[in-house]
Amino acid sequence: MKFTRRETMLMALGATAATMLPGRAMADVDEKVAEFTGGAEIGEGGLTLTAPEIAENGNTVPIEVSAPGAVSIMVLATGNPTPGAAVFNFGPLAGAQSASTRIRLAKTQNVMAVAKMADGSFVQVSQEVKVTIGGCGG
Amino acid sequence: MADNVKPKVRVPKTASAGEVITLKTLISHPMESGQRKDGDGNLIPRSIINRFTCDFNEQNVIDVTMEPAISTNPYFEFEAIVPETGAFTFTWYDDDGSVYTEVQEITVG
């Protein structure tokens, strides 16, 4: 079998597209983070993310975020079709900059939290959650 | 759109001035993610609650932006400062434009 120049080009294009597909979800995560931070540097520390190591049911995974002195905290499910989960904005009467909720995880993945501190700096933390049964239908 | 949406909140009846209390909220809602397909393979359109806020005497406690990754029957637990006697207002905003509100009073004694 012999390939013409045109066929070779098409195959190369196809291969590039195929390798780029898995990167799409990660690009969404980067985009979400950039939107939240405005491209600022992200440090570490001062933010705690509590999530189970193994979640049997991806439909309801309890998580808790806590960052004393934070203005807002964003939670991302990096392996979901749409990575955004929630953004908590704390008002003047918030007793503590912490909140818990339940999220859906489509598969085993890293759950990530990014907090905006009162001084305008950002910190992030992430934790892997193993999911036995995914929680996005399908 | 979403039927039988029922908010439930747990607020202590009394507190001392300046006390930090824990609030728990739950609202029954399917939170259709927009990712699922029905029996015929058609995508079920997204229908979620996209925002939740809690205020005390018109001062904000928490304002949450919610996305499809929030589970069915969204649950939130958070803490608030109670400076004086007053009422907590909990508000949920649905994709379809509905707004669900729950008010709970608290006495500072």
pLDDT over 70 (residue A14) = no
A24-131 maps to which CATH number? 2.60.40.2470
State which residues form the domain around B29.
Answer: 6-108
Per-residue pLDDT of chain B (109 residues; tens, 9 = 90+): 456 788 999 999 999 999 999 999 999 999 998 888 888 989 999 999 999 999 999 999 999 999 999 999 999 999 999 999 999 999 999 999 999 999 999 999 8
Give the helix/strand (H/E) hosting A99.
Answer: strand A94-103
Per-residue pLDDT, A138:
44
How large is the C-alpha radius of gyration of chain A?
Answer: 19
Q: Do B67 and A82 touch (CB under 8 A)?
A: yes
> The domain that contains B104 carries what CATH number?
2.60.40.10
Per-residue pLDDT, B4:
77
Does B92 fall in a domain? yes
What is the pLDDT averaged over residues A41-51? 92
Does B65 fall in a domain? yes
Q: Average pLDDT, whole number, for chain A?
A: 86
Please tell me which residue, A135 or A133, carries the higher pLDDT value.
Answer: A133
Q: CA-to-CA distance for A106 and B84, rounded, in angstroms?
A: 43
Domain boundaries, chain A: 24-131
pLDDT over 90 (residue A134) = no
Does B1 fall in a domain? no
B70 inside 8 A of chain A by CB: yes
Does B39 fall in a domain? yes
Q: Do B79 and A96 touch (CB under 8 A)?
A: yes
- Please give the ipTM for the structure prediction: 0.91
**Residues A99-126 as b or e (16 or more Cβ within 10 Å = b):** bebbbbbbbebebbbbbbbeeeebbbbe
Per-residue pLDDT, B55:
96
- For residue A98, give the 3-state DSSP assignment: strand
What is the pLDDT averaged over residues A33-38? 91
The DSSP secondary-structure symbol of A107 reads S
Q: B41 to chain A: nearest residue by CA?
A: A138
pLDDT over 60 (residue A74) = yes
Q: Which of A9-13, A51-55, B65-69 has the lowest mean pLDDT?
A: A9-13
Write down the residue that tokens 């085993």 correspond to: A108
Does B104 fall in a domain? yes
Which residues in chain A touch residue B21, judged by CB atoms under 8 angstroms apart? 95
Does B94 fall in a domain? yes
Which residues in chain B touch residue A138, judged by CB atoms under 8 angstroms apart? 35-37
pLDDT over 90 (residue A16) = no
First and final C-alpha spacing in chain B: 42
A28-B73-A65 Cα angle (round to 5):
55
Which of B93, B78, B98 is closest to B25 using CA atoms? B78
Residue A51 near residue A111, CB atoms below 8 Å: yes
Query: If phi over 0 gives left and psi between -120 and 50 gives alpha, with beta otherwise, what is residue A39?
Result: left
What is the pLDDT averaged over residues A99-105? 95
Which strands make up the sheet holding B19-27, listed edge to edge? A48-50, A61-66, A94-103, B75-82, B19-27, B7-10
Per-residue pLDDT, B23:
96
Total structural domains within chain B:
1
